[in-house]
Amino acid sequence: MDKSISVLIIDDHPIIASAYESALESFVTQNATYNFKITSIYNLDEAQLLLNNPNFVENIDLVFLDMRLPASSDGSLVSGEDLGNQIKTKQPGARIIVSTTFNDNYRLHNILQSINPEGFLVKNDINHKELLSAVENVLAGSPYYSKTVLNLLRKQVGSDIYLDEVDRKMLYELSIGSKLKDLTDLLPLSVAGIEKRRRNLKKIFGISGAEDRELVKVAKEKGFL
């Protein structure tokens, strides 16, 4: 008996959506018991229309989701991450394979925390074989991460340093050159609170009296950026 799988592909680059479709076709060639019903869309406006259709939503089995999607026209969805969370809420049984061009550890960590996808692919890691492996593992109920994501997870598992989300956000903002006056608008902290956090981060990473540049450098080496 055929295993019928409803697949939703969301990517604003049709050529990438076609690559996913090709991988699914190859998978069926190798696994004849599967049958994929594929819907490909290219923006968040189309996604909203589909997700407002309960009959469509309840049948979604597998989702390929790009993170860097332009905001929807009404501004209610600003990224693929927003859409991923909406899919998880409306159809908890859907298995999501995220793909992204982001390769910095801060953003990858945030996506893992926010969506917790069954598959997580950094686009620079992707080839046809990688896509086939991702589909095979996710359909079998096993998580699948491409090598960049695995490297992040290995660094974090091997680290005895714990940072909360405010610490991570502060490090990220420092890494992109945000100034102290900017941080008070970006973080739920006073100037004194920010200075205290910054001193504590330098202590955690074994840096005394160093500039923020050195703090950022060590945080990157430890896999936090």
pLDDT tens by residue, 6-23: 999 999 999 999 999 999
Q: Is 159 helix (H, G, I), strand (E, B) or coil?
A: coil
d(CA 193, CA 200) in angstroms, rounded, equals: 11
**Residue 89: C-alpha distances to residues 26, 82, 125, 153 (Å):** 31, 11, 29, 25
Pairing of strands 34-41, 3-10: parallel
Confidence of residue 155 (pLDDT cuts 50, 70, 90): confident
* 3-class secondary structure, 63: strand
> How many C-alpha atoms does 117 have within 13 Å on its Cβ side?
35
Please give the CATH topology (third level) of the domain spanning 3-155.
Answer: Rossmann fold (3.40.50)
pLDDT for residue 1 is more than 70: no
CB-based burial label for 208 (10 Å; 0-12, 13-18, 19+): exposed
Mean residue pLDDT of the chain comes to 90
Q: In angstroms, rounded to a whole number, what is the distance separating the alpha carbons of residues 25 and 23?
A: 5
Minimum mean pLDDT range among 115-119, 150-154, 176-180, 221-225: 221-225
pLDDT band at 51 (very low <50, low <70, confident <90, very high): very high
Go through the chain and tell me how many residues it has.
225
Token pair in block for residue 42: 């290219």
Query: Is residue 146 pLDDT above 90, yes or no?
Result: yes
Q: Side chain identity at 83, as an amino acid letter?
A: L
